[in-house]
Structure 1
Amino acid sequence: MTLPASPSTATNQLRPATWMRPGSARHYAAISSWLLVLPLLAIYAIGFLYPLTKLITLSFIGGLFANYGRLLDDPLYAAVLANTVGIATAVTVSCVFIGYPVALAMARLKGRLALVIAACVFIPLWTSVLIRSYAWIVLLQRHGIVNSLLVATNLTDGPLKLLYTQGAVVLAMTHVLLPFVIVPIFSTLQMLPQDYARAARNLGAGAIRTFLFVTLPLSLPGVFAGATMCFVLALGFYITPALVGGPGSMLMANLIGQQTTVLLDWPFAAALSTVLLAMTIVFIVVFRKALSFSKGFSSVH
């Protein structure tokens, strides 16, 4: 006589194999986790680690520090590096000061006005960087719209040199990178509970004091995230400085492009790229430390 299967035995038969079954609601088994992650690791190794290894190896051709020594021997390269960091810092500061009020308006306003502001922020992201940079050439050239308005209103006696200057580079790069600062700040502000601000107002704090001591400290993670993204992108910007900047506005990306396409000095270009990569990593670590300090400083005890 065959005994009926117990409920536990029937349940075990209906369960999937161990290698497919997660250990809990949030964890997969080890082999299934590796199968899921393996395509990403392959893409990461082929598309990033291998080219990066080749780049660093190429920078040592001709001697252990032959190409890196040129960076110290010629002051031109140090000046370009300092100019790159200075312009990236100026663009980041400009984007934060302009983008924070816009992100705050997007998070606080409702209805059509909020949609209009959001459209002004996101629509430029759908436009090519080349087109947006060329638009600034049309605006800032000697007989462009800005100079025409200045001359027509008698604010200047003649056209000003607005194009091919560092100011034009900072202005154009700020316009291109502004959405990358607004979006993280907006996401942080939107997630902040309004009860904190209302509690501060009920305790007697005015609108400015509430913003300075409640809203701003709690939104610093978004500010640091947007500033980090903007600064890293500005360090490697190529198209905009090449179009609206003059010889005095050369950045590291333009110098690397010159070494590869004009002078065909690939080892030295690899050394410049490695230095720029190392500097980017250093600044990311600094931003991360500042973000950790901000979280600890603004935490509520």
Structure 2
Amino acid sequence: MADRPPRQTVPVDDGGRRSARRVPSTGALLIVVPLVFVAAVFVYPLAQMVWLSFTDFRGGGPTGFWDNYAWFLGNGTQVGILRRTFGVAALVTVACLALGFPYAYLMTLVSPRTRLVMIAFVLLPFWSNLVVRTFAWVVLLRDSGPVPSLLRSVGIDVSLLGTTAGVTIGAAQVLLPFLILPLYAGLSGIDRRLLDAAQSLGARPSTAFARIYLPLAVPGILAGTSVVFILTLGFYFTPALLGSPGNSLVSQQIANQVSELLAFGRGGAMAMVVLVATLVAMGLVALATRRYTRALGAGTPR
């Protein structure tokens, strides 16, 4: 075994005696500093929210340990808002997938230079402020705006601003890059020679795409859609501007409980329910992805 280099020490004057003190290694600092930062900005606020959800009862009513959760899950209006939040998240996810999959698939077919341009278009929304983009949708979707006027010109009279449809459109535009990028990462790893081999054996292009390419694309689809779904659950600004009080989401209700009613316990309970639901969704997606990947490795995708 090779000799290890001696540990770095510094001499310390201790009453005329020489002693040695170990200098903290750089590796330990690289671990400790991020852990302290995460604990300060994430773990502590989360722990405080959990504690308040069980101990703060400024919203009124009984003061039992689980009463904030009982109020939220036993209130028909709040449960309806929770259901609506998951429904809007599902709609936004489907809209992003319908728009993002063809775009990501096209990125795997074009030349590197064209692909670079397409990636720049995906990243372009990040270069503009979310507030500006959302207010732009307010102008586009209002009753006198371009989008409703165009729809009325073809015989479709519909209001978009202040509706779930308007929230879905605005949120899908904001979150589309979060689906395209992980989806492209998954699609770019698929060997297109498999499609050529299937067609050389007599399969039609559509059959080869459906039977070979799509099963291989499922892990990338699950990765992208799970990111969009989870982000939509916590969306606040876009639903607040493009929606209305009649179709508010959980994030708006949490803000109302905390900032207006000062009911931190109820707001914490609502946030914890959403957090637990999000963790369950992430766990299910991870489990499905792992099982599907194993099935692909066995040659029997289902």
TM-score range, shorter chain: 0.7 to 0.9
Matched to 2:39, the amino acid is A
Provide the residue aligned with 1:26 in structure 2.
none
Provide the residue aligned with 1:49 in structure 2.
43
Cα separation, 2, equivalents of 1:125 and 1:132 = 10
Question: What SS is found at the alignment partner of 1:59?
Answer: helix
Provide the residue aligned with 2:143 in structure 1.
142
Distance 1:276 1:150, change over 3 A: closer
Instruction: Report whether the alignment pairs 1:201 with 2:199.
Output: yes
Aligned partners of 1:166 and 1:248 also within 8 Å: no
Cα separation, 2, equivalents of 1:183 and 1:215 = 18
Provide the residue aligned with 1:110 in structure 2.
111
Instruction: Report whether the alignment pairs 1:172 with 2:173.
Output: no
Provide the residue aligned with 1:281 in structure 2.
279
How far the C-alpha of 1:194 sits from its partner, in A, is: 2.7
Partner deviation per Cα, 1:94-130 (whole Å, 9 max, x = no partner): 1112211110001111155434432321101222222
Partner deviation per Cα, 1:241-263 (whole Å, 9 max, x = no partner): 00000122211100001111111
Cα separation, 2, equivalents of 1:98 and 1:194 = 22
Cα separation, 2, equivalents of 1:227 and 1:160 = 28
Aligned partners of 1:259 and 1:266 also within 8 Å: yes
Aligned partners of 2:138 and 2:242 also within 8 Å: yes
Alignment of 1:78-227 (within 5 A): 78-110=79-111, 113-151=114-152, 153=153, 155=155, 160-227=158-225
Query: Identity of aligned pairs, percent?
Result: 35
How far the C-alpha of 1:33 sits from its partner, in A, is: 5.1
How far the C-alpha of 1:213 sits from its partner, in A, is: 1.8
Matched to 1:161, the amino acid is S
Cα separation, 2, equivalents of 1:300 and 1:178 = 33
Matched to 2:77, the amino acid is L
Equivalent pairs, count:
276
How far the C-alpha of 1:79 sits from its partner, in A, is: 0.5
Provide the residue aligned with 1:262 in structure 2.
260
Q: For structure 1, which segment, 256-265 or 65-74, has the greater mean C-alpha deviation from structure 2 after superposition?
A: 65-74
Matched to 1:110, the amino acid is S
Provide the residue aligned with 2:290 in structure 1.
292
Cα separation, 2, equivalents of 1:102 and 1:290 = 25
Cα separation, 2, equivalents of 1:250 and 1:40 = 36
Provide the residue aligned with 1:27 in structure 2.
none
Aligned partners of 2:72 and 2:266 also within 8 Å: no
Cα separation, 1, equivalents of 2:100 and 2:43 = 34
Provide the residue aligned with 1:25 in structure 2.
none
Runs of 4+ in 1 over 6 A off after TM superposition: none
Provide the residue aligned with 1:228 in structure 2.
226
Provide the residue aligned with 2:239 in structure 1.
241
Q: For structure 1, which segment, 108-117 or 194-203, has the greater mean C-alpha deviation from structure 2 after superposition?
A: 108-117
Aligned partners of 2:186 and 2:220 also within 8 Å: yes
How far the C-alpha of 1:32 sits from its partner, in A, is: 6.7
Aligned partners of 1:169 and 1:249 also within 8 Å: no
Matched to 2:42, the amino acid is F
Provide the residue aligned with 1:39 in structure 2.
33
